Structure 1
Amino acid sequence: MTEATPFASTSTPALKPARQLADLPPRFPGESAEYRRARNELLAEEIELRRHLERVAEQRRALPPGGIVPEDYRFEGEAGTVTLSEMFGTHDTLVTYNWMFGPQRARPCPMCTSLLSAYDGEMPDILQRVAFAVIGRSPIEKLVGFAKERGWRHLRLYSSGGNTFNRDYAAEDPAGDDVPALNVFTRSGGTVRHFYGAEMGASTADPGQDPRGAPDLMPLWTVLDMTPGGRGSDWYPKLEYPGTPR
């Protein structure tokens, strides 16, 4: 008997109504009937959200071929010069993250750093499926120095200081103002194409909310969204905190 493969089905089964799936009895000590009623209503919405996210993911996977990458950009990595096509390694998919750590910055963006710290722990798993590159405009020595300070072990770092990759795929201006960006590239038959770029930012943000994507890339916010206080309106990650390990 073989292990089931995700998304192996060729047809979409009929889904039970979310309200039906969310009709749960009391589960936790001391909860009131009012709490269970409200919680089940919320659960139904969470089920619908999960289904909507999957529909979006299916639509993303079905995108037509993106533009051919205009050049095989050359980066400086920890072991020397590497081209964009070489970053794929044995994979046919490459994810890149533009780290806001340009040469004009003494220290990197705390928000980017929080995200990358989470990804560092996940990287051994991520690299089983796709290649992943963290790209910043500062010299590679500066990028690697901070990574060691932070205790990162698995992220693959590259400097784009000598090319236009950040400008082309993160919309950074010629002055080099840092912009975070996540992009996905594919390689087939020697041709590298842009598959997807996260394009939700300040211009698409809703009133009273910080710019964010959907799903949110940051595990930090996903956890805080499940708490009574939520994300808050006046707190952001820091590069370090007194009395705590980095």
Structure 2
Amino acid sequence: MDAKNTPLTPAADLARGSPVRIPNESAEYRAARTALLAEEIELRRHIERVAAQRRALPPGGAVTGGYRFQGEDGPTDLAGLFRDRQTLVIYSYMFGPQRERACPMCTNVLSAWEGNAPDIGQHLSLAVVARSPIERLTAWKRERGWKHLRLYTDLDGAYSRDYFGIMPDGSETGAINVFTRHGGTVRHFWSDEMGGSTADPGQDQRGAPDPAVLWTVLDYTPAGRGKDWYPQLDYGS
């Protein structure tokens, strides 16, 4: 029997069978933690169901735009961003020419991705696209100490407009888009479509799973994410 069709043990049973016990914990704590563990197991299973549903998407729209980019190694098109991979992930960075400095939240996401870029690169091509000139992007890359992320300028903004890096009112937004290439045809596969219109009351717009490691770690803690704190580009000395 394959794993897909194997009946799952109820999450509550798995939670009750966990051998983990923390020094000096109370019975009240253990009961609450076991109930939480059951919910965490259910969350894990739901994440996997969503991922499987995402992988099963039918072919997306063919890419027909003649998008042009400028990278550190020269000009390229969208197909060139794939390099030798069949899957391409592009992060649209909120760092247009009108900005004095880059978006702090985007920068926080990308700083975490920078550390994982060599591992991600074993499976796919990862590119970061912004609308500032490449000279400005490479200077920023040096300032941040990034070594692995590949930054590109969207030369005419066409890609950013078509794939939601620029909103209809001209404002920027961070966007994640995934593309595939088969037999010379490039198609869109998936993008993060969760935003302000899909946000729940009292919450900032966010995707799920959240691409920012920051929030995942804060969610482990008693205070959680808080209500009005956001990362900064620097915190002084």
Q: TM-score, normalised by structure 1?
A: 0.92
Change (3 A) 1:10 1:48: closer
Is residue 67 from structure 1 mapped to residue 61 from structure 2 by the alignment? Answer: yes
Is residue 167 from structure 1 mapped to residue 161 from structure 2 by the alignment? Answer: yes
Runs of 4+ in 1 over 4 A off after TM superposition: none
Change (3 A) 1:210 1:173: closer
Q: How does 1:82-231 map to 2 (within 5 A)?
A: 82-170=76-164, 172-173=166-167, 176-231=170-225
Kept after mapping to 2: 8 A contact 1:136/1:161? no
Q: Distance in 2 between matches of 1:196 and 1:25?
A: 39
Q: Deviations over 1:79-126 (max 9, x none)?
A: 110111011111110000000000100100000000000000000000
Alignment partner, residue 36 of structure 2 = 42
Give the drift of 1:171.
Answer: 5.4
Alignment partner, residue 3 of structure 1 = none
Q: TM-score, normalised by structure 2?
A: 0.96
Is residue 17 from structure 1 mapped to residue 20 from structure 2 by the alignment? Answer: no
Paired residue type of 2:133? P
Kept after mapping to 1: 8 A contact 2:92/2:165? no
Q: Distance in 2 between matches of 1:141 and 1:171?
A: 20
Between 160-169 and 40-49, the greater mean CA deviation after superposition: 160-169
Q: Distance in 2 between matches of 1:26 and 1:129?
A: 35
Q: Distance in 1 between matches of 2:152 and 2:107?
A: 15
Q: Distance in 2 between matches of 1:197 and 1:78?
A: 25
**Between the two proteins, what is the percent identity of the paired residues?**
60
Q: Deviations over 1:20-66 (max 9, x none)?
A: 10013561111000000000000000000000000000000000000
Change (3 A) 1:107 1:54: same
Paired residue type of 2:130? G
Paired residue type of 1:202? G
Q: Distance in 2 between matches of 1:50 and 1:77?
A: 38
Alignment partner, residue 5 of structure 1 = none
Kept after mapping to 1: 8 A contact 2:11/2:39? yes
Match of 1:78 among 44, 69, 72: 72
Q: Distance in 2 between matches of 1:154 and 1:12?
A: 40
Q: Deviations over 1:136-186 (max 9, x none)?
A: 011111111111101011000000032400000015146642111000000
Kept after mapping to 2: 8 A contact 1:72/1:85? no
Change (3 A) 1:172 1:41: same
What are structure 1's unaligned runs of at least 5 residues? 1-8
Change (3 A) 1:26 1:64: closer
Kept after mapping to 1: 8 A contact 2:68/2:155? no
Between 108-117 and 19-28, the greater mean CA deviation after superposition: 19-28
Match of 1:232 among 211, 226, 237: 226
